[in-house]
C-alpha cells in the first residue's frame, strides 16, 4: 500500500476512535503527517510504509515537538527491515513507539493494549517483578528450582525479579509454572529522552533567525523546527504559539491554512510573522503579523495581546 492510502487508513481508525485530526501535512520536509487529539491525548503521527525511512533528525524533532506541545509521538507503518510489523507488537525507531494500523485500531478502538514489544534478538514482555517474586515465594520455590523449570540460569531469574526484560516465551512459561498473571500491558507513550542539542538556528533562513531572535528578546522560549510547516514553537507562561515566518506568497498562504488546522488540534494559537504586504489579518485561524508590528512590541504579553486583538477584529 502506498503512503497516501496508509495515511487515509490511519485517519479512518482515528475517526472511529473519537479523535479530531488535522489536515494532512503535504508540505516537505516534514517530521509528522497528522496531529490528532482525543480529550487529553495528543498525538503527532509520522506514517511510513517502511518505518526504517524515519531518519534520526526527523525523529528527534518529532520527539521535541511533542515534548513542547505536551503530546506523544507515534510512528505508523507496515514494514521494518523488509519484514511486516506484527499486530499487537510495539516497535521502536529512534526511540519513537511504532506499530501497524491494526495495533492502532486495537489500542484506541477496541481498548486492547499491546503486551509485546520488539527488542534486540526477539519479542519481549514486561512482567510484574514484585508479583513474580511473591508468587515464587508463595509456591515455596527457590530461585534455582524456578530457573530449572523455566530453562534459564539462576542469574536470569534474579534479574527478572529486578525488572529485566523477559522474552515472550519465558514470560508465558513463568505464568504457567507459577499459575499467576505476570505479563503487564504496555504504555507506548511513556516519557522518553530527547536531545535538545540538535536544535540549530543556523539551519533556518536569515529571515527566520532574525525574527526568532526578536521573539526570544521579547520574552518567549523558542523551539525552532526544520521539518515542520511552522518555523518554531514559541511559549511563555500563558501561551503556546505555532510560529510561521515567511514572505507573503501563495505557498505561505497554503502553509498558514495547514498550521491553522494543526493549531486547532494541539490547542494552541497559530501566527505567521510576514515580510511584505497583505490585506487580511487572518488566514483561517492563523493570525498574520507584519514584521514591522513585531518590532514595535516590547514583551511577550504585548505580543499575545496583539494576536488576540487581531482575532477579535476577525470575529467582528
pLDDT of residue 316: 44
- C-alpha count within 13 angstroms, C-beta hemisphere, residue 75: 30
* 257-295: pLDDT as tens digits: 999 999 999 999 999 999 988 888 899 999 999 999 999
Helix (H), strand (E), coil (C) string for the chain: CCHHHHHHHHHHHHHHCCCEECCCCCCCCCCCCEEEEECCEEEEEEECCEHHHCCHHHHHHHHHHHHHHCCEEEEECCEECCEECCCCEEEEECCEEEECHHHHHHHHCCCCCCCEEEECCEEEEEECHHHHHHHHHHCCCCHHHHHHHHCCCHHHHHHHHCCCCEEHHHHHHHHHHHCCCCEECCCCCCCCCCCHHHCCHHHCCHHHHHHHHHHHHCCCEEEECCCCCCCEEEECCCCEEEEEEEECCHHHHHHHHHHHHHHHHHCCEEEEEEECCCCCCEECCEEEEEHHHHHCCCCHHHHHHHHHHHHHHHHC
- C-alpha count within 13 angstroms, C-beta hemisphere, residue 81: 6
Count CB neighbours of 189 within 10 A: 15
Confidence class of residue 200 from pLDDT cuts 50, 70 and 90? low
- The angle that helices 129-138 and 168-178 make with each other, rounded to 10 degrees, is 40
Report the topology of domain 3-114. Answer: Trna Endonuclease; Chain: A, domain 1 (3.40.1350)
Confidence class of residue 2 from pLDDT cuts 50, 70 and 90? confident
The angle formed by the CA atoms of residues 170, 173 and 175, to the nearest 5 degrees, is 115
Do 3-114 and 124-184 agree at the fold level?
A: no
Query: Which CATH architecture best describes the domain 200-315?
Result: 3-Layer(aba) Sandwich (3.40)
pLDDT of residue 74: 97
* 222-268: pLDDT as tens digits: 999 999 999 999 999 889 999 999 999 999 999 999 999 999 999 99
> Domains of the chain: which residue ranges?
3-114, 124-184, 200-315
Tell me whether the omega of the peptide bond preceding residue 273 falls within 30 degrees of 0, making it cis.
no
* 127-159: pLDDT as tens digits: 999 999 999 999 999 999 999 999 999 999 999
Look at 205 and 109; give whichever has higher pLDDT: 109
CATH class of the domain defined by 124-184:
mainly alpha
What pTM value is reported for the model? 0.91
Percent of the chain with pLDDT strictly greater than 90: 83
Amino acid at each position: 500500500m502506498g503512503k497516501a492510502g496508509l495515511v487515509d487508513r490511519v485517519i479512518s481508525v482515528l475517526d472511529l476512535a473519537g479523535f479530531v485530526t488535522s489536515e494532512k501535512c503535504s508540505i516537505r520536509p516534514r517530521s509528522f503527517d497528522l496531529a490528532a487529539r482525543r480529550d487529553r491525548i495528543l498525538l503527532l503521527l509520522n506514517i511510513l510504509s517502511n518505518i526504517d525511512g524515519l531518519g534520526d533528525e526527523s525523529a528527534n524533532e518529532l520527539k521535541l515537538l511533542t515534548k513542547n506541545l505536551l503530546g506523544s509521538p507515534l510512528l505508523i507503518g507496515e514494514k521494518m527491515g523488509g519484514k511486516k510489523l506484527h499486530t499487537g507488537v510495539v516497535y521502536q525507531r529512534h526511540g519513537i513507539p511504532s506499530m501497524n494500523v491494526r495495533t492502532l485500531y486495537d489500542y484506541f478502538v477496541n481498548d486492547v493494549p499491546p503486551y509485546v514489544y520488539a527488542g534486540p534478538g526477539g519479542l519481549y514482555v514486561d512482567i510484574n517483578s514484585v508479583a513474580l517474586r511473591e508468587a515464587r515465594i508463595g509456591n515455596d520455590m527457590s530461585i534455582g528450582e524456578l530457573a530449572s523449570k523455566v530453562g534459564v540460569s539462576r542469574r536470569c531469574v534474579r534479574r527478572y525479579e529486578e525488572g529485566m526484560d523477559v522474552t515472550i516465551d519465558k514470560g508465558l512459561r513463568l505464568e504457567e509454572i507459577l499459575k499467576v498473571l505476570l505479563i503487564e500491558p504496555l504504555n507506548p507513550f511513556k516519557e522518553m529522552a530527547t536531545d535538545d542539542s540538535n536544535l540549530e538556528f543556523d539551519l533556518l533562513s536569515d529571515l527566520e533567525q532574525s525574527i526568532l531572535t526578536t521573539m526570544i528578546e521579547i520574552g518567549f522560549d523558542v523551539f525552532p523546527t526544520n521539518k515542520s510547516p511552522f518555523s518554531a514553537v514559541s511559549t511563555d507562561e500563558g501561551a503556546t504559539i505555532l510560529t510561521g515566518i515567511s514572505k507573503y506568497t501563495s505557498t505561505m498562504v497554503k502553509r498558514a491554512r495547514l498550521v491553522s488546522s494543526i493549531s486547532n488540534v494541539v490547542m494552541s494559537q497559530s501566527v505567521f510573522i510576514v515580510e511584505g504586504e497583505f490585506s487580511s489579518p487572518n488566514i483561517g485561524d492563523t493570525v498574520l503579523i507584519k514584521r514591522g508590528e513585531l518590532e514595535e512590541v516590547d514583551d511577550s504579553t504585548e505580543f499575545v495581546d496583539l494576536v488576540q486583538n487581531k482575532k477579535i477584529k476577525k470575529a467582528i
